[in-house]
Amino acid sequence: MVFLSQTALEKERSSSKFNLYMLTWPIFLELTLFMLMGTADTLMLSHVSDDAVSAVGVVTQYLYICILIMEVVSNGAAIVVAQYIGAKRMLEASKIAGLAVTLNFMLGIIVSGGLLLFGNMILDEMNLHGQVLEYARSYMSIVGGFLFVQALINVFASLIRTYGFTKESMFVSLGMNVLHVGLNYLLIFGNWGFPAMGVEGAAVSTVISRGVAFVVFLWMLYRVMEVRIAFRYYLTFTKEYVQKILKIGIPSALEQVTYHACQTVFLYYVTYLGTEALAARQYAMSISQYVFLFSAAIGMGTAIIVGRLIGAKQKDHAYKRVISSVAWSIGITIIVDIIAMIFRYPLVGFFTDNPNVVSMAAQVILISIVLETGRSGNLVLVNALRAAGDAKFTVYMGFISMVLMSLPLGYLLVFQMDMGLVGVWLAIAADEWLRAVIMWVRWRSRRWESRALVEPTEAAHASAH
């Protein structure tokens, strides 16, 4: 009996690794493609001017915060749906999915309206001047006004991945990026008889490619669900489901918004270092984002598995899965980051030939090994804690680390110790490492086990049927 139990356990673990791999590689490619959309804008706009790159970089920082606000529903719904799938309650999962789409659409309309009304006012407070400000206003009005389309994309993509169809989601992202790059070529530079619109062309290209992706995601969701969403589910606001979505979604969004709000403050610090520092920051981030893509993909894949395991009451399996994922995440990040460090000058050279910008960007990429190793563990652990239902803890600890520690440290390093852009990177690295250690201790404590969204009686009831 013991021998059979060990064999079964080994098969279970092997299956888990296989599932994580099968879930993660399409997520990684999808995230890569999403990043390529931003890199395509940066690379193509760098042929317009560094001012254009700086302007889009500033606006993108705000748009990311808005997108994260809109992920209150999509993140919460993905985790709730994952736990209900794990508990074999497919009808409830379908109802929650329909509710999530409606909620995210409403939230997206509100956010887009706010950006149209107050976008220029926000940019006026960012210490931008001249052509950079004009470019930023133009990009904000077009992309920001249609940001509700991204809200719908987010919720559809999250649900499709939660059902295990990460490969299909990746293919949609591939199509969106190919279309985006093609439209950039036509609209930024005015090829094939199209007008040369510069920054406005990049904005229009982004909106059109997202619109097409939304239509495809909508069709695809109906293809992957075991129990399809009835039309009435979109209009049925069940208090229990809304509460469960918000229980995870609000803390998750708050933690992410806090992070990007702090990044916006750091961006504000950089505006005082000059236009070259702004451009160097944007180029360095465009390169560094590919370093942590592996960790982000592993974190998202692990969260899907953990959510299902928690719903199925396999908490020991979830615990071991996350420990293994953290080790893989850190190991892969170190390898990729070393490669980025070795080729940092040629990589930055793809974007600009300004020697001062190249030097500053290469310098912060060199020290990114300190930042990215902490971030790699953080991305897995925070996602796992959310998937287990322990989202509030990540918010509390995130606020302490990011707001109370990293922002004052950044101010000290940048303005008092004159470390410039390097000071910003070191302050962010300190935050990532502090939170990674805290989240590791929390996961090892197993206090998250009592935070499940599907009650034991519900899971038992589902198993009985």
pLDDT tens, position by position, 403-432: 999 999 999 999 999 898 999 999 999 999
Whether 388 shows a pLDDT value over 90: the answer reads no
Domain that holds residue 423: 16-232+240-460
* Segment 22-39 mean pLDDT: 76
**Can you give the three-state secondary structure of 33-63, one letter per residue?**
HHHHHHHHHHHHHCCCCHHHHHHHHHHHHHH
Over residues 37-60, the pLDDT tens digits come to: 667 777 788 777 778 887 887 888
Whether 7 shows a pLDDT value over 70: the answer reads no
In this structure, which amino acid lies at residue 27? Answer: I
> Domain for residue 465, yes or no?
no
Band (440; pLDDT cuts 50, 70, 90): very high
- In DSSP notation, 56-68 reads HHHHHHHHHHHHH
pLDDT score of 226: 66
Instruction: Please state, in angstroms and rounded to a whole number, the distance separating the CA atoms of residues 449 and 463.
Output: 20
**Residue bearing the bigger pLDDT, 402 or 33:** 402
Q: What is the CA radius of gyration of the chain?
A: 22
> Domain for residue 1, yes or no?
no
Token readout for 119 is 């976008």
> Domain for residue 5, yes or no?
no
Band (460; pLDDT cuts 50, 70, 90): very low
Q: Quick one: which of 327, 448, 317 has its CA closest to 394?
A: 448
Whether 23 shows a pLDDT value over 80: the answer reads no
> Domain for residue 435, yes or no?
yes
pLDDT score of 199: 85
* Segment 250-272 mean pLDDT: 85
Q: Is 274 helix (H, G, I), strand (E, B) or coil?
A: coil
pLDDT score of 121: 83
**How far from chain centre, in Å, is Cα 176?**
17
> Domain for residue 4, yes or no?
no
DSSP H helices, 272-367, are 275-288, 293-311, 315-342, 344-349, 355-366
Q: Which of 27-31, 363-367, 457-461 has the lowest mean pLDDT?
A: 457-461
Domains identified in the chain, total number: 1
> Domain for residue 2, yes or no?
no
Whether 434 shows a pLDDT value over 90: the answer reads yes
* Segment 243-253 mean pLDDT: 82
Band (10; pLDDT cuts 50, 70, 90): very low
Q: Quick one: which of 229, 109, 236 has its CA closest to 160?
A: 229
pTM above 0.75, yes or no: no
> Domain for residue 110, yes or no?
yes
Whether 69 shows a pLDDT value over 80: the answer reads no
Instruction: Please state, in angstroms and rounded to a whole number, the distance separating the CA atoms of residues 23 and 29.
Output: 11
> Domain for residue 285, yes or no?
yes
